[in-house]
Amino acid sequence: MACVAVNSLVRTIELEFLQPLPRPIVRQNQLIPANENLIQNLHQKLGDLIELFDENRMDGIQAIKHLETKLRDVAFRVENEIEFQIVHLYEIEGNAGIAGLFVKTPQSTIDSKEGENLRIDAQGNWHSFKLGYILKRAIRDIDAIHKELSKLQGIGRKTTAGVDVMMMAGDHQHASHSHPLHSSSIMVGKNNEFHTVKAMLIHHSSRQREIVSIQGMGGIGKTTLARRVYEDPSVASRFDIRAWVVVSQYHNRLQMLTDLLKSIGGCEVVSSTEEDQLAQRLYQNLLHRRYFVVIDDIWSVEAWDSVKACFSDNGNGSRVLLTTRSAQVAAFIGSNSDFSHQMQFLEEGESWNLFQEKTSKFQGSEFDMIGRQIVKKCKGLPLAIVVAAGLFSKLHTLDEGKNVAKILNSSATTTIDEECSRILSSSYNHLPHSLKACFLYLSLFPEDYEIHVSEIVKLWVAEGLVKTSEDMSFDAVARRHIQELKDRNLILVSRLSSCGRKVKTFRMHDLLHSFCVREAKKENLLHVVYENGSNSSQKGFRWLSIQSTRFNKQTLYSSLIYCRSIFSFPGQYTSLNSKICPLLRVLYNNQCGVAYLVHLRCVLSRQTVSTIPFRSWNLQTLSVLRIDEISFLEFPQLQHFHGYGIPMDCPIRFHQDLKRIGTLRDDHCTKEFFTNIPYVEKVKISSKGGWNDCFNNIACLHQLQSLDFFCYRPGQIPNNNCIVSLKNLRKLRFWTVNFESKTINIFSKLPKLELVLLMGCDWIGGEWELLENESFDQLIYLEIKYSNLKRWKASACHFPNLERLVIDGCKELEKIPAEFAEIPNLKSIELNGCLHSAMDSAMKIQRQQRRQGNDNMVVIKKFTIKEMRHVLKIRRSKLM
């Protein structure tokens, strides 16, 4: 309960009072000198108390929950008082142009008598003494809670480690709205169901387009079954084209069409926002081809009606597979009973096998007896079984196991929904507080939303939910939390990074997302504006998620006084200032004007922001499409800066610890500029061709790990450049540049280079030849896209650790070097828009790899040049 409140308050204290350079108005009003000991004391006590709560995570101990509630209320009160005081300081500063813009601070909790004494004692420094009173009162309250908690330490069971909330690799563990990830998870007890659905898809005699349905409750494994069928080689080879899309409870036709087109891939570039135009494009792509489309998690007939016209009946055995919780939806949309499958619960033996598989360790016969009691409570639902197994696998003593079983058996619930909810709740209650806070913040995203790791890390840090450690930065700790959530199966990986070693995007299972939203609302953290629901607003919430284009802004704005995060998924324009939301610190995906938001820490938007809040001293992330108006900027906490259309001669004072900046023009890349930001790790540069000085100056960035270089007018990269001096460079991407073989080969000298992406680049002479000593020893990912490359002379020695090779739109490439069959770690070759000869060479490499024992190496083929021309021909004929 207190996890969000305490973590947030601790970070606020650090930013406002403990950083080397606090905001000027705090220094001007002498808030810190007289209160330094109180500040340090409160900061330490909060840390100690939350650790004590972590050591006493007990499910069902009402006294502990009561103390957590008290701690939450204290922490929220203190943080509000501190931040409102800073807002008030700016208001009374009386600078021209801002008078009256700030909200009046809510009535202070200081009573009149004590307030009068403070005024007498303050001797003219009222603000410093007011802060002192806030801190002293907070310390008294924290000490009282600590004392009560110490008395309760003997109650119940102490947990010494976080508890895994393991989840079945079940519903919605898919790769994206478009493609499910390959999974090695075992479907215990589902082989019969797999063969049943597979037969409907490829063995049934019907040549018509049939609608196959898989129906069952949430958590029963519908998506897991659909994914296994989708990835089965005999199914994949049966169809010319496959696609995967997720619908969810509130369907969006535009999103469905966009995701289906992205899933199909090929030569499609989805840029239109006209639904009918996208629908026509999808129809043309599927016409005259045997297709297999999975429509996952469909809730209504209306969702199907919105896209069904795209799926023509070509009389060639095409199939559409639906997964749904609704028997009515399955019956109405599905072809007939021959093409409908009802998911079954696991039998007792299958349930126990799944439980054992997920606990991953033998704990003895007594543990097994307790485990069987728990499994019985799960009533054959895979999700509930695996969540319980995850909780059970982290227990260390028999008493702990008995306690869990007692808690789960204490309820009189009879339905599987109630049992599953209770198991999720029990597992959640045993999470470490820091991880619990980060988990709750995911409630801001809509159901089935694809969450980018690079964004959520920044959001967590900005909200103050992440605690740093002596040897790890905030970003590093946040990314560790991502890994922990992944390990606990609280999140479902959607996409991995190009190298395949990091999570790039993820989603949440529907049941876990619903649970997360419910918990956040219960704590009055979250308010959601839904498209088809009641949008009456409660008061006092901290997080707002706008998931509708239709709502009363005035009514909503009147309740934002304590709001810290605003997420907008329609991305509509809003105008925000300190009268509306004085404590706001996070803006996500808003197209807006922001004025005098003094506590703003993070702006992440694919939209335009009209003005930059120059008083946001603690701004950490600024990533927008463009900014219309810029004034004097000084952001000592700024770590990530990105914005197209921002003139780099604007008066921004970057902090030397800046980690990411983009996109720079080549004429901005001066030695002086780079010298001032020596710790930058990621840079994007755009150029019109004058890049010689840029290449030389970039050598100043010794910590650079990722370089993205885009050229508006094709030009040649100089053979002698200073990029090779960047010894920490891991990722190198060039867009629309020309080079000789020896130019690209020189980058083999980069000792840590793991990823190379060459997009629209041309080889002079059309040949890439590597010499014996020109080997990319650490390279694991290579992508060549839309290139004139014809001949490629290389061996396994030149790419000894290559894992993934992507060739896209290289219409002249004759073949992949045959020697790549000897690369030991090769996992995949992906080809799209290539000659048949190139695809044949890849298949030969695959056969050789498998003869050598590498059975996991795959070749992913999409369109050949001939197929692409056929699709374009059909499209032109339809337009005529």
Q: What is the pLDDT of residues 21-31, one digit of tens each?
A: 899 999 999 99
Average pLDDT over residues 684-689: 78
Start-to-end CA span in the chain (Å): 63
Residue 692: per-residue pLDDT: 64
For 372, 481, 690, 867, the CA distances from 427, given in Å and listed in that order, are 18, 17, 58, 51
Name the helix (H) or strand (E) containing 78: helix 62-93
Residue 54: per-residue pLDDT: 77
Whether residue 630 is predicted with pLDDT greater than 60 in this model: the reply is no
Average pLDDT over residues 65-69: 87
Whether residue 410 is predicted with pLDDT greater than 80 in this model: the reply is no
Residue 511: per-residue pLDDT: 83
Q: Which of 137-141, 442-446, 870-874 is least confident?
A: 870-874
More confident residue, 4 or 117: 4
516 and 177 Cβ atoms separated by less than 8 Å: no
813 and 841 Cβ atoms separated by less than 8 Å: no
Contacts of 547 (CB under 8 A, 6+ apart): 250, 446, 528, 529, 530, 531, 569, 570
Average pLDDT over residues 234-253: 86
Residue carrying structure tokens 């006493």: 56
172 and 298 Cβ atoms separated by less than 8 Å: no
Whether residue 161 is predicted with pLDDT greater than 60 in this model: the reply is no
Candidates 45, 46, 39, 158; CA nearest to 434 is 46
877 and 847 Cβ atoms separated by less than 8 Å: no
Whether residue 711 is predicted with pLDDT greater than 70 in this model: the reply is yes
CA 309 to chain centre: 33
Q: How far apart are CA 314 and CA 579, in angstroms?
A: 60
Residue 533: per-residue pLDDT: 56
Query: pLDDT confidence of 166, banded at 50, 70, 90?
Result: very low
Residue 411: per-residue pLDDT: 61
Residue carrying structure tokens 């609280």: 490
Residue 314 DSSP SS3: coil
* Per-residue pLDDT reduced to its tens digit, 101-151: 445 556 544 444 454 444 444 444 788 999 999 999 999 999 999 988 888
Give the Cα-Cα-Cα angle 250, 252, 253 (nearest 5 degrees). Answer: 140
Which percentage of the chain shows pLDDT scores above 70?
A: 79
* Per-residue pLDDT reduced to its tens digit, 790-839: 999 999 999 999 999 999 999 999 999 999 999 999 999 999 888 999 99
Q: How far apart are CA 478 and CA 463, in angstroms?
A: 12
Question: Which structure tokens are listed for 880?
Answer: 């005529």
More confident residue, 422 or 444: 444
Residue at 423: amino acid letter? I
Give the Cα-Cα-Cα angle 386, 166, 11 (nearest 5 degrees). Answer: 155
Q: Which of 318-332, 348-362, 446-460 is least confident?
A: 348-362
Query: pLDDT confidence of 220, banded at 50, 70, 90?
Result: confident
Residue 603 DSSP SS3: strand
Q: How far apart are CA 540 and CA 551, in angstroms?
A: 19
Average pLDDT over residues 540-551: 87
Whether residue 192 is predicted with pLDDT greater than 90 in this model: the reply is no
**At residue 378, what are phi and psi to the nearest 5 degrees?**
-80, -15
For 232, 410, 479, 566, 590, the CA distances from 605, given in Å and listed in that order, are 39, 47, 21, 11, 6
Candidates 378, 379, 396; CA nearest to 387 is 378
DSSP state of 490: S
Candidates 790, 822, 786, 823; CA nearest to 806 is 786
3-state SS track over 232-301: CHHHHHHCCEEEEEEEECCCCHHHHHHHHHHHHCCCCCCCCCCHHHHHHHHHHHHCCCCEEEEEEEECCH
Residue 629: per-residue pLDDT: 57
Helices (H), 360-509: 365-377, 382-393, 398-409, 416-429, 433-441, 453-463, 474-487
Residue 578 DSSP SS3: coil
Q: How far apart are CA 390 and CA 423, in angstroms?
A: 11
Burial class (CB in 10 A: 0-12, 13-18, 19+), 740: middle
Residue 71: per-residue pLDDT: 94
Where does residue 635 fall: left (phi above 0), alpha (psi -120 to 50 degrees), or beta otherwise? beta
Strand partners, 762: 738
Whether residue 304 is predicted with pLDDT greater than 50 in this model: the reply is yes
Whether residue 492 is predicted with pLDDT greater than 70 in this model: the reply is yes
Average pLDDT over residues 609-616: 63
More confident residue, 535 or 682: 682
Residue 388: per-residue pLDDT: 80
CA atoms lying within 13 Å on the CB side of residue 157: 21
Average pLDDT over residues 605-609: 67
pTM: 0.78
Average pLDDT over residues 400-422: 70
Residue carrying structure tokens 């010794």: 702
Tally of residues, the chain = 880
Candidates 357, 346, 423, 403; CA nearest to 379 is 346
Whether residue 787 is predicted with pLDDT greater than 80 in this model: the reply is yes
